[in-house]
Amino acid sequence: MFRHDENAAPTHAQFAMRVAILGGIGIVAFAAIFFRLWFLEVLSGEAYLKEANANRVREIKIQAPRGEILDRAGRVLVENKTVLSLQVRADELPHDKQVRNKELKKLAGVANMSYDKVKQEIRQQTKELPANPVTLQQDVDKDLVYYLRERQDEFPGVTASQVYVREYPNGTLGAQLFGYVSEIGPDQLTFDEPGAVLITEKDAVKCESIAHANVWCVVVDLAFDANTTARLMRLVLRDVEGRET
Share above pLDDT 70 across residues of the chain, in percent, rounded to a whole number: 66
How far apart CA 88 and CA 91 sit, in angstroms, is 9
Output the furthest CA–CA distance in the chain (Å, rounded).
134
Domain region containing 68: 60-169
pLDDT at position 191 is 56
Instruction: Indicate if the pLDDT at residue 1 is higher than 70.
Output: no
Instruction: Please say whether the beta carbons of 192 and 170 come within 8 A.
Output: no
Instruction: Indicate if the pLDDT at residue 96 is higher than 60.
Output: yes
Examine residue 75 and state whether it is found in any structural domain, yes or no: yes
How far apart CA 242 and CA 164 sit, in angstroms, is 30
Examine residue 120 and state whether it is found in any structural domain, yes or no: yes
Instruction: Please say whether the beta carbons of 87 and 157 come within 8 A.
Output: no
3-59 pLDDT, tens per residue? Answer: 555 565 566 777 778 888 888 888 888 888 888 877 777 666 677 777 777 666 666
Examine residue 7 and state whether it is found in any structural domain, yes or no: no
Number of domains in the chain: 3
CATH of the domain at 95: 3.90.1310.10
- 121 with 219, same domain: the answer is no
Instruction: Please say whether the beta carbons of 58 and 113 come within 8 A.
Output: no
Examine residue 230 and state whether it is found in any structural domain, yes or no: yes
- 72 with 140, same domain: the answer is yes
Instruction: Please say whether the beta carbons of 33 and 39 come within 8 A.
Output: no
- 95 with 160, same domain: the answer is yes
- 165 with 64, same domain: the answer is yes
Helix (H) or strand (E) holding 34: helix 12-38
pLDDT class for 90, splitting at 50, 70, 90? Answer: confident
- 64 with 163, same domain: the answer is yes
Is the whole model's pTM more than 0.75, yes or no?
Answer: no
